Structure 1
């Protein structure tokens, strides 16, 4: 038997045996089965949640978040209110991670949300102290799932996205409920009074107890309730109950860590923030424990809490504990974001995400060098942009650089090219684009020369045109795959025309930024603009004729017109972007070419 065959058999047999062993354990211990079911539902819900954000982005969700999370303070308040309502700090934390992973909020807003989540647990302690109850989020699961499914089967894209959002929240609640239920037997068997002890050792032991109980129950609110009940019954001392509160604060990060398993690098930054903040605040409380107790006593006297009302004093401690943490860390949100961006990076060897090639910190020292590397990086991104657009219309990126006749090439490319546009966008465009914009802002701020600052802004505009072209191409790709290879010759011919015009634009734009001589630049600009005007010359009369003779439906005709408008928008954006780049590329251009470029750049 060869080594390769033996290894293949090993890879099949070992996972099979382990799976059967795990299945046996799960079937014999229903608490474990319930726990793992909850974790799986939770992770599945996280995937659905991020997908729903992609569908809703650009619409009502963007508008909502733009109002409630467009500043750090608003994000902080939003998370505080939401956590108070759902009574689960972990749930709101993973929602914040999903928002950030879907690029719906900034990293700083996400960090502010994490701080708001932590402060909300203090309010929850007061609610439990007064009423002795907590909200059961599992009660929300069923109606959310019901309405989520009803909305999801709707044909309207945004309604479908809302349905997916509600469905994912329902599954999140359901997953958390199963996880809690799975640990119910463990929770009921916990007798924390048996560990009673005083001094520093007692503090550490009960911090660990609070951490493990929260890890098991997946709810810091449940741990606070347990501590309050135990304190009220005299099973543990006041200091021990405070230590449980500290431990519960750290244990609440576990759900966030689980929720970040399916998130991107941005989501993992937010997870790191949550873990760092909670551990740092807990360490502060442990080191300065006596001072925290003193502040609690002073605060109790100020608000009129009786000296023997230990339950309310525990709630006051939880408030002081969280307020101190927020007061210390909230002013340094920007520094925290800078730290996270430097520490948590994508490993280039393990990732397909392209990184900037030319942008360096040293280039920022001189405006001229900064402008040069910014141009080179923009040119690099332009190539990636044209490649992505070509793939969106089911062409190979190499088709841009050949001299093959356009008609013949399109006739050869008669099969759709399936690609995950979101993934390609993340890998080939987004990272470089974000770095370019950040570099341009920094370079412009450091420059004292107003003319050079204006050039930085122009290069930013060139990159914004690229981003707009990419967004339009993503929308166009859907109908290209759907209609461009139709057996209906009329439909196929119309989409062939769109693909041909865009291929010409891609070739001309790429040639323009490589052009060296004055006449070549002038000629290419004129050709590009002539090619854009071709879209205006397309008459709807031919489509009317096709509809009249039942060659196509009015719905198809509408799609064709919309896609022609998208193609024209892409051509316009690529033209403007390439004109700006060539303007900055060649200082030796003649006056006539410079004038022509200036007119084209600024005519909109």
Structure 2
């Protein structure tokens, strides 16, 4: 109990052990009680963990629970085996050539031994312990897709955690935007992200009714999350290093450019849906355009350079500008449709340009 109380009061098991070592070395404390205080100091650390987890998330409460269980189990076993463990410490000390009265070194050895004992006891039960803690501290009611996952108010207390929370949430927004941009060009994201898109993917039949409209999905999944991200960033009121400030500015710039690309994708999708029939005069050009944008998105996901990302759509745009002029001269393309295609190529170029724009230094 002395070890528990001292650790709780001083908020440090190391301070308790240092005082115990001093008292033991000066002869003011017997050997076995000193060992018991070392065990109590380990129990005292659980109070700090519990207090810290009260206002934290589910994961922190689970970790604090594991910390309490580990230390309590270790303490119970160590107290039950206190005398045998003391004998073991004496035996090891003798083998190591320590003096019989080297109490501080023996106390340090004992502290190490009973922590190793705890590891040996708990390690085989980690999976069951994790399952128990997950049942004891379940996740809250499942968040709606529009809600932030990492923007915990507790993260605002420290610059590192605030910036890390922003990075994680912005990555979630990026993933949603990638999927929605794939919908904008009427291609499954599995055919775009993770592997180079293929010609057969864009030439497949298109069922317009099966594709979610970009504008509706943007207001459902993107805008609410973007609002939470911007609100969280505005609430960061702790001192930031220059590198952290630049990182936040880069994240905001990239996120806003991603949203800008979605607005271009919204316009592009409407035209692609109108001319999605296999016999449409614009289907061939649209297939080239969709493949070029898909290739740019694929390269963007691989974090390639802006020029590499924009190259496919630039090539398609040059080709179809020449091809439109040829078909107009030969009366194989209606001028009204030609103007629609010109606008679609322009929207696709603006979409990729928004994504490929270099981040601020």
Name the TM-score, length of structure 2 as normaliser. Answer: 0.48
Q: Which structure shows the bigger proportion of residues in helix conformation? A: 1
**Structure showing greater relative contact order (alpha-carbon pairs closer than 8 Å, 6 or more residues apart):** 2
